Each structure stands twice: as C-alpha cells, then as structure tokens.
Structure 1
Amino acid sequence: MIEVRAAAARGRANFGWLDSKHTFSFGHYYDPAHMGFSELRVINDDQVTPGAGFDTHGHRDMEIISYVLEGTIAHKDSAGNVKTLPAGEFQLMSAGRGIHHSEFNASNSDTLKFLQIWIQPDTLGGEPGYQQKDFGQEPGLTTIATPTGENGTLHIKQDVTLHQLILLPGTDLHLDVAPGRRIYIHQIDSELNVNDVVLTPGDGAKISAESELQLRNASDVAVKALVFDLP
C-alpha cells in the first residue's frame, strides 16, 4: 500500500524569518491523522531568511537529522560543537539525556533551505552525540545513516536506515523491501514514479505491505529523494 502525503496538504508556519512546511504534526500544527510514520516523527521543510535562525533551545531523547538543500547552517551546541553545515551535507545530532543548540543562516545575503527530520530513538538517556558528513551526489541509493554506523554511515540510535536517492533522467532502480519493514519516501527534486505512483517535490509516500518497489525517473532532469527504511 502506498499512501501519498501531498506537499500542498502539509501544515505551515510562517514567522517572516522562517517559512516551515510540516509533513507531520509539529508546533502549532496538529492533525491526528499525521502524527508520524513508524519511528519517523518530524519532517520540516524549512526556509530561513538571511542572518536569521533558531535561538538556543533544548532537546532530549530524539535523533535529529538536518539536510541542507541551499545555503549554510551555523550550528552551536552545549556539547561544544561549533560547526557550519553547507548544502549537500547531513548532520545527525543525538539529543540523549539533553542538549541545547542554536541553528542560524550563516549568510547575510542568501536564503537557507534545509530539511529537519526527527526520529524517535530506541534507547532513552545516554550521552548526546554529534555527526556530520557529505556523502556526495552519486546516482543510485547512497546509504546515509544506519543502526550500526557501518561503512562510514552516520550512527543512528534506532532500527532505521536512511538513503539518499538520485536518479538520472530515464533511469530506474529496483528496491526489495524486507518482510515487516515500512518505507517512507520524501521527494526533494523533480518527479519520482514509485510503482506507478507519481511524487512531486515536497510529497511524501507512506509505504507498507510492499515487497518490492520500482523507482523510476521518466523526466528529463535528475530526481532526488530521501528513502527511510523503518520498522
């Protein structure tokens, strides 16, 4: 079964400096039909004006992934990490027993666009952690995060695997789905055909009880999406 979460149906919060689209219930946006999917709790599509950002605030017991689409994030946290995160890089912050951080648009002239993703961990408490990496832009599936951190992937504290999908024009990819697993696809660029269901930018697909997926790019530009393999 494939259930599409249309981009236009997402919640929205616009504070002037921040324009955020919420795939799942978040902040002042509440929809009991969209509280998350498996252990995936938040996908916020954020656009931040030059020089603005999120002042220092706290989190605990959450795996927080940021993926920069345009611009650069300036990050500071209570564990002593002072980092910049440019377009194309992934950041995974394990909040553990508690961490405070701030995120700002590092530019005073360019807009920042990034995805903020929250995944509920399988263990509570523990030491906060910080990871950051550029995985490149190779066509196909590139594994970004795994429960073991194997092969240079980010180590996430949950039975979840995150992939970056890039398909060149006119190409396709077959994906086998293990029994009992669920897949969530968040579409970033262009149009992706998933078992004859078309996703456009900002769309999501909740996929369950499917043993295989045929992912196809029938357009004339590259497709980019995030693929979550969930329990």
Structure 2
Amino acid sequence: MAAVTTTREASVDIRRAPDRYATRMSWLDSKHSFSFGHHYAPDNTHHGLLLVNNDDVVAPGTGFDTHPHRDMEIVTWVLDGGLVHQDSTGHSGVIYPGLAQRMSAGTGILHSEKNDSWRLTGEGEHTDPVHFVQMWVVPDTAGIEPGYEQLEIDGELLAGGLVPVASGMERDKDAAAIRIGNRYAALHAARLAPGGSVTLPDAPYLHLFVPRGSVTLEGEGALATGDAARFTATGGNTVTATEPSEILVWEMHATVRG
C-alpha cells in the first residue's frame, strides 16, 4: 500500500463499540475496529493510514505465540497489566501503562506478545488479564531495517493534555515520545479527569478511540468505552471527559492506496 494525499468532503463517522468485529477464544477477547483476519468488509479496511485498531484482553499465562510481520509500523498501548514482548531483533521486555512502544516490521520481523510477566518477576503466577490497544499504520518506505523503540511518558500524561506518543511528522521530531516510519502520521493520547478536556487536531484524517471511560465530543455527543469517531477533512473539536477516561487520537495527513 502507498500513502497518497486526497481531498474529501468534511464528515464525522461515529462507530459504536458493539458494532466492532469480535474474536473470542478461551484466552483472548479481541475487538477490531477494521477488517482483521477472517473479519473482512471491503468498505472497512482502513481510515487514513490506520489499518488496525485492535482492543485486546489477554488472560494470564497466555498470549500471541511467535508470528511474523512485514512493512508495518505497529504501536502498542497498554491500559492495564503487563505485556511481555520478544522479537527476532533481540528486544524483550514488559510493556505497561504509560510506556509508549513501537515496532517497525520493515523487511520482516518475528515477535511474540504474552501476559506472562510473572515468569520474569519470579513472584508466582498472577490472575490479572492484560488490556491493550494495538494499532498498525503503513510505513511511507517499504523494506526498511526492522526496529524497536519505547519510552516512559507517564509523567506527561499526568498533566492531562493531549500528549504526542508516536509520530513520523517533521514538526514532532523533538516532541513525540517515539518515532514511526510515516511522515504523515502521529498518535496522541490523553488521560482525562471528569470535566477535563482537550482540543483535537485539524487534519485530513483523524481517528479518535475511547479505550476507557466516557467523553463528550463537541458537535456529536457522548462516546462510551470502545466507541470511535472517524474524521475526514475536519477537526478542532473539543473532547470532554464525563468520568475518568483515556483517549487515543491518530492525526493523519494522507490515506492509503492499495
């Protein structure tokens, strides 16, 4: 897929949590915002540069066994628990809330993701699931060397504003926590107390996801846990929390062409 810039009419498309595709197994409860795996709809394959927005809950002691990726920028955002990452480039560690993490698949990478941090700590088996959102955007250059980056940004999130988490945009080279390989895309996050608010960017494509809590989107009304809004050729709306909430916002200045 290649990134292209386009001109579209302004619109906001609200997607409700119950309407997402679902994959449920004994160890996994996964909700998909876009076509994923055997869940396929030709009119729901992406928004802007975002191809995957999976909302996953993984049972303790289980997870995704080693599997391949290629030519994809993968950002993982943990809400609760710890997710153990291991990949074929030699990186390993536990991803936890407030830690921004990006994996560039490039020419090819193998990795696994498990809820088994008890094996690392030696404190015995726990019974806590891990809840995380995994997001995939296309790179603007195929065949790059695989890479990995992470950074703790919990302190910035405590301030309550919209925090640049991952970006490939030139304007964010000194602001974003981690870099991704697409110069047209940036991910922002915010943790909001009740009554707290942020203003969304104005961009050709935005994707607002509420992984936790409930908010009011200016001009559109209430968004609950798991709801999303897809903006085209618009933005600048205020998002206000009605309870303790967390939001993830992709700002994109291009879309994909298959």
Matched positions, count: 227
Check if 1:124 corresponds to 2:142: yes
Runs of 4+ in 1 over 6 A off after TM superposition: none
Aligned position for 2:68: 58
Once the 2 structures are TM-superposed, how far is the Cα of residue 168 of structure 1 from its aligned partner?
2.3
| Structure 2 stretches lacking a partner, 5+ long | 1-10, 119-124, 254-258
Report which structure shows greater RCO (CA 8 Å, sep ≥6): 2
Among 185, 193, 199, the residue aligned to 1:168: 193
Deviation at 1:173, TM superposition (A): 2.8
Superposed CA deviations along residues 78-112 of structure 1, whole A, max 9, x for unmatched, are: 10112111233221000011000111102442111
Do the aligned partners of residues 114 and 175 (structure 1) sit closer, same or farther apart at CA in structure 2, a change above 3 Å counting? closer
Structure 1: gaps of 5 or more residues:
none
Matches within 5 A, 1:115-154: 115-136=133-154, 137-138=157-158, 139-147=160-168, 148=170, 149-151=173-175, 153-154=177-178
Aligned match for 1:23, one of 8, 11, 33: 33
Q: Deviations over 1:28-62 (max 9, x none)?
A: 11122211101100011111111001111110100
How far off is 1:209 after superposition? 2.4
Question: Structure 2: how far apart are the matches of 1:79 and 1:176?
Answer: 35
Q: Is 2:207 the counterpart of 1:189?
A: no
TM-score for both structures, normalised by structure 2: 0.83
Q: Is the 8 A contact 2:72 2:138 kept in 1?
A: yes
SS for the counterpart of 1:8 is helix
**DSSP 3-state at the match of 2:61:** coil
Match of 1:215 among 224, 229, 239: 239
Cα distance, 1:18–1:122 mapped onto 2, change above 3 Å: same
2:95 pairs with 1:74: no
SS of match in other structure, 2:239: strand
Q: Which amino acid aligns with 2:193?
A: L
Does residue 227 in structure 1 map to residue 249 in structure 2? yes
Question: How far apart are 1:176 and its partner, in Å?
Answer: 4.5
- 1:211 deviates by 4.7
Following superposition, the deviation at residue 123 of structure 1 comes to 0.5
For residues 209 and 15 of structure 1, do their structure 2 counterparts lie closer, same or farther at Cα, with a shift above 3 Å needed?
Answer: same
Percentage identity across paired residues of the two chains: 37
Q: Distance in 2 between matches of 1:173 and 1:86?
A: 24
Amino acid corresponding to residue 167 of structure 1 in structure 2: L
Q: Which moved more, 1:167-176 or 1:68-77?
A: 167-176
Q: Does 1:5 align with 2:15?
A: yes
CA RMSD of aligned residues (A): 1.5
* Range with bigger deviation, 47-56 or 79-88: 79-88
Asked whether the 8 Å contact 2:55–2:211 carries over to 1, the reply is no
